Amino acid sequence: MHQQVAGEQPSPSPAARRQKQKPSSGLLSSFTSVWFSDNTPDEPSAEDLEAEKETVQCINQCNLRAIILDTKNLQADSLIYLLKALILASVRPKEKEAVPFDEKLAIFCLDLVTAITYLNQERIIFLWVLVYEHFAGLLGGATSATFLTERAVSNLLFLCQKLGGSDFGEQLIKSLQLLLKLNPAVTASLADLITTGTSRILHAHPRLLRSPVAWPTLLSLIRFSTDYPNSSIVAFKALNGLILADKALAPEQRLIITDNFFSVFNTIKAFARSKACPPSLAIEAMECLYSLFCRLPDVVELVPMATIHEESKHTGATPPPANEAEARALWGWSRYWVPALQDVGEICKEPRLEVRHYAIVILQRALLSPALARAPPQACFSCFHQARPLSSASAREREGLTTGGRAVIFPLLKELLVPRPTARAEAAALEETRQRASALASKIFLQYMSNIMGSDGFEDLWMLLLDYTEQYMNTNSELLAEAVTESLKNTLLVMSASNVLQPSQGHGQQQQQQEEGIWEKTWRKIDAFCPSVKHEFHTVLAKTNPPPDAAPASTASSSVGEVTATPQQSAEHPQQP
């Protein structure tokens, strides 16, 4: 460097040098480059070159690095004055002032401020207010991604990465909110830099995810990356890596806790729903969602019973059962399980075919997971509509409760029935999605049937499921109608085998006086939109459950006649006991 300035070798002009030169990202690397100002004439004179040479020699003799390192021995007041002087020298002049702004000088001073702050980390508590205000001033007014803005972002992330594990680390991380407030044009240009820096912070200090001060900012920065394809890949790998590693830790040491569970869950969901993320990344994100879903039992188990009872009182919910295990299960269901299932259900409505189909797979795996095998009846009902039985709601409330609120399956079925002006290929894809959703509803109903068949509201739920079955069969799609019919027959056979769907015991006038049972309600509704199912149902029953030798061969057909015959006909041909 000294030889080039002295003129011993041909030196490019300052203009050419400025074109090639870009401030390096290394800390303190711009100590000498700052002196090559943009104000230098295109053709420097011999005097200018000599002055430049002497300046470089002066800097080399001063040994600036040693001076900066020695700031650790400065008294507090002297250190503050030094920082103030550096900040003052790099502040952009006001518009009324005729002083030109030297960006290289500002970068040089910013690097010095950053280095001094890092070297004096033991005294950062009283230094940070001044340093933070400097960063805020540089970033708050930035309208484009200049070299100075980029360096400010880089240095702020550097300090948070190096000092994030200190006692003051949480406050440092909180200062990263400055990056969330950047001008959109600046954010778009520096997205990769911000994401890489945030990922390094998470990797260096994973325990910050447990801090209520730090994790909202860190997860917001990770979530912001989902708008940018390259950045989203880096950010997802960083967060997913932490989640996978966290699984192996003891429950009391885990990073995913009751307080931050949904913040982490929603951040991962953002990757699944972002159009900027490739479908392959969205599928990885949904697998990550399922892994989080499987951890819910441990998350709920960490909540004290006192908290559960207190929240139940404030929400006005039904008083929790005396059994603590059941009380915890009900609270955990409404507080964690249902919202998580709803989030996955929202992804099932995505316009991208592969994403929504995989979301249905994840939703089915979640609903059929062993953790929910013994879910209480109220929890099972809320998978379809809401926690309390529909029989306790007014007629006007029924429609609202079955299509919105804290529900999962019925809102999804309703959403997929909405007509969409689509091309032929998209229409075929939507038809396939409807098939999958309808099959999902039947599987989940059968899965939870043993838990809810003795509860109030079971018949209401079954009738609503038949309503959606009818609507799906009337979509003018032969393939969908065929698939729904097969699913319906399978559901009926399982219900019959479980003794849930059996003919009523009354006959003739006695049956007429009785309240209509689930058998009569079921066939009356099915006969209205698919009468052929009844014959096929009894045909299969006759093959799988042949009548005893003493019984007449027409036993199965007589049971069909019971449903369709008039009371008088039933009286003329009473069923044998």
Q: How confident is the model at residue 323, as a pLDDT?
A: 74
> Looking at the domain assignment, is residue 300 inside a domain?
no
Instruction: Please write down the HEC assignment for all residues of 195-260.
Output: HHHHHHHHHHCHHHHHCCCCHHHHHHHHHHHHHCHHHHHHHHHHHHHHHHHHCCCCHHHCCCCCCC
Q: How confident is the model at residue 309, as a pLDDT?
A: 81
Q: How confident is the model at residue 564, as a pLDDT?
A: 32
Coil, strand, or helix at residue 277?
Answer: coil
> Looking at the domain assignment, is residue 462 inside a domain?
no
> Looking at the domain assignment, is residue 115 inside a domain?
yes
Q: What is the DSSP letter of 23?
A: -
Q: How confident is the model at residue 148, as a pLDDT?
A: 94
Q: What is the DSSP letter of 320?
A: P
Q: What are phi and psi of 521, to 5 degrees?
A: -60, -40
> Looking at the domain assignment, is residue 16 inside a domain?
yes
Q: pTM for the whole thing? A: 0.78
> Looking at the domain assignment, is residue 234 inside a domain?
no
Q: How confident is the model at residue 395, as a pLDDT?
A: 36
Instruction: Please write down the HEC assignment for all residues of 61-115.
Output: HHCHHHHHHHHHHCCHHHHHHHHHHHHHHHCCCCCCCCCCCCHHHHHHHHHHHHH
Find where tokens 């559901």 sit. Answer: 491
Domain end among 189, 211, 234: 189
Find where tokens 């007429």 sit. Answer: 512
Q: How confident is the model at residue 547, as a pLDDT?
A: 58
Coil, strand, or helix at residue 166?
Answer: coil
Q: How confident is the model at residue 292, as a pLDDT?
A: 94
> Looking at the domain assignment, is residue 560 inside a domain?
yes
Domain end among 189, 212, 230: 189
Closest CA to 379 of 266, 439, 369, 357: 369
> Looking at the domain assignment, is residue 372 inside a domain?
no
Q: How far apart are CA 309 and CA 264, in angstroms?
A: 25
Q: What are phi and psi of 15, to 5 degrees?
A: -65, -45
Tell me the two tokens of residue 135.
């960063």
Q: How confident is the model at residue 157, as a pLDDT?
A: 97
Mean pLDDT by 10 residues, the chain (577 residues): 40 46 47 44 80 85 81 92 91 67 91 95 93 94 92 97 93 95 94 96 94 94 94 96 90 88 96 94 96 91 85 60 76 88 92 94 93 82 65 36 60 89 76 94 94 89 95 91 94 93 66 69 93 89 65 36 33 35
Angle at 569 between CA 564 and CA 570, to 5 degrees: 75
The amino acid at residue 203 is H
Q: How confident is the model at residue 250, as a pLDDT?
A: 84
Tell me the two tokens of residue 450.
């043993």
Q: How confident is the model at residue 412, as a pLDDT?
A: 93
Torsion of CA 547, 553, 555, 557, to 10 degrees: 120
Closest CA to 384 of 341, 436, 355: 341
Q: How far is CA 197 from CA 24, 101, 287, 492, in A?
A: 16, 28, 25, 57
Q: What are phi and psi of 111, to 5 degrees?
A: -60, -40
Domain end among 170, 189, 208: 189
> Looking at the domain assignment, is residue 455 inside a domain?
no
Structural domain containing residue 83: 1-189
Find where tokens 């698939």 sit. Answer: 483
Q: How confident is the model at residue 42, as a pLDDT?
A: 62
Q: How far is CA 573 from CA 440, 508, 549, 561, 563, in A?
A: 41, 9, 21, 10, 13
Q: How confident is the model at residue 10, as a pLDDT?
A: 45
Which residues are within 8 A (CB) of 277 and not within 5 positions of it... i.e. 6 or more apart? 226, 229, 232, 236, 271, 285
Q: What are phi and psi of 413, to 5 degrees?
A: -60, -40
Tell me the two tokens of residue 503.
């003919």
Q: Please give the tally of structural domains in the chain.
A: 2
Closest CA to 88 of 46, 41, 130: 130
